[in-house]
Structure 1
């Protein structure tokens, strides 16, 4: 994945929504609370509201009902398509870390790439949960790097820590492992490797509070943001993937 080679860019990474610019958000996604973002220097993937897709498409993705977060805000499903492209959608969250559940599918995506090293780390989907507080042992250096990133992010408040769940990677990466772009403030778990069966919905559920404690130690801070991203520019692969049924609630 091409990056801006500056100190601030270590934190202004795709997973924090930095090194980025606002994309054009379709009205139905905007109405559901999502904002589309583009990564500078990378072709923009197309994000669309899943219920607006007609059944019988080439990918076989049929419409699904609108869904909601635990706080009752309509979220809806999201589909991402592209070729050698990437991007993300994000929306605000609030409240305590609880259980996050969703269903996702990949009809086309990049081959397996090692996600725990910089460069060439494409993935069909990543679901990233941002928190308002620091990891328990965040260093002065990490906080300073985040400060550089926040200065470049304008009025968008960046998460101070993240849990990232991916469909992609080799499946041989440690579980979890630190994102090579987030200065130790983001931890990644490969949920479905790149060679997982395609063309069918897979249900997932994770305990955010338990994952936080296992990863960072201590009690998790409040939720701040959720993003869905995709990235296939290094392998120049086609993308056709979707996420639906997002829920945050008691475990």
Structure 2
């Protein structure tokens, strides 16, 4: 990767004007993405169109400077993570109610972007135990999966590998639709905290 423009684009949110900074840096002899959050939220997303089969493995390395003292995946006020990987799936209108479809259409008209459907968020949690799945505090269309938890491994590289298909089935009770995007995100807009995270070697492969 020669720049962050190679296959990645900014993922920003309406009404949030403080954005996390992302830089391509050398860290421990490897080229990685460094994210710096200061009461901010935004991400980098790679748009995809990928229909997973029986399994699809997502593997990455990451490191964080700290966890957030007030971080709590069960509360809106604590819905911040020093590092997360966001996997977005195609919206399935045949499984949505009338009001959900209407609301989504209104947002798309206003912001000019087709919204994804369900999502998995792999997080470095503060209080949520490692391995736990819970619905996001804002929407049950997103399920949070704690793959690291607590401060004990901060400052150290951690390697994570997850089967997206198996995790989607556990989270939503059915096989996944096509993947439309994978994002990295370091956010601290709810807690007002600061943190730095490093992301490297994010790959998709069959089992």
* TM-score, scaled to structure 1: 0.71
Q: Determine if contact 1:109/1:240 at 8 Å carries over to the other structure.
A: no
Alignment match of 1:204 (pick from 154, 160, 165): 160
Instruction: Name the SS for the 1:29 alignment partner.
Output: coil
Aligned length: 202
Instruction: Name the SS for the 2:30 alignment partner.
Output: coil
Larger proportion of strand: 2
Alignment match of 1:34 (pick from 2, 5, 8): 8
Unaligned runs of 5+ in 1: 1-26, 55-60, 66-76
Q: Which deviations, in whole Å up to 9, do the C-alpha atoms of 1:92-151 show, x marking residues without a partner?
A: 122223111101110244225211222232210111101114399544444343333333
RMSD: 2.5
Instruction: Name the SS for the 2:4 alignment partner.
Output: helix
Distance apart, 1:240 and its partner CA: 0.9
Q: Determine if contact 2:92/2:117 at 8 Å carries over to the other structure.
A: yes
Query: For 1:121 and 1:202, how far apart are their aligned partners in 2?
Result: 22
Unaligned runs of 5+ in 2: none
Distance apart, 1:250 and its partner CA: 0.3
Higher relative contact order (CA 8 A, sep 6+): 2
Change (3 A) 1:188 1:141: farther
Instruction: Name the SS for the 1:81 alignment partner.
Output: strand
Q: Determine if contact 1:113/1:169 at 8 Å carries over to the other structure.
A: yes
Q: 1:74-223 residue pairs with structure 2 within 5 A?
A: 77-97=32-52, 98-134=56-92, 138-154=96-112, 156-172=113-129, 175-182=132-139, 184-223=140-179
Q: Determine if contact 1:161/1:185 at 8 Å carries over to the other structure.
A: yes
Q: Which residue of 2 aligns with 1:225?
A: 181
Q: Which deviations, in whole Å up to 9, do the C-alpha atoms of 1:207-249 show, x marking residues without a partner?
A: 1111111222222111100111111234332211011111111
Query: For 2:93 and 2:127, how far apart are their aligned partners in 1?
Result: 27
Query: For 1:217 and 1:136, how far apart are their aligned partners in 2?
Result: 16
Query: For 1:228 and 1:157, how far apart are their aligned partners in 2?
Result: 19
Change (3 A) 1:139 1:106: same
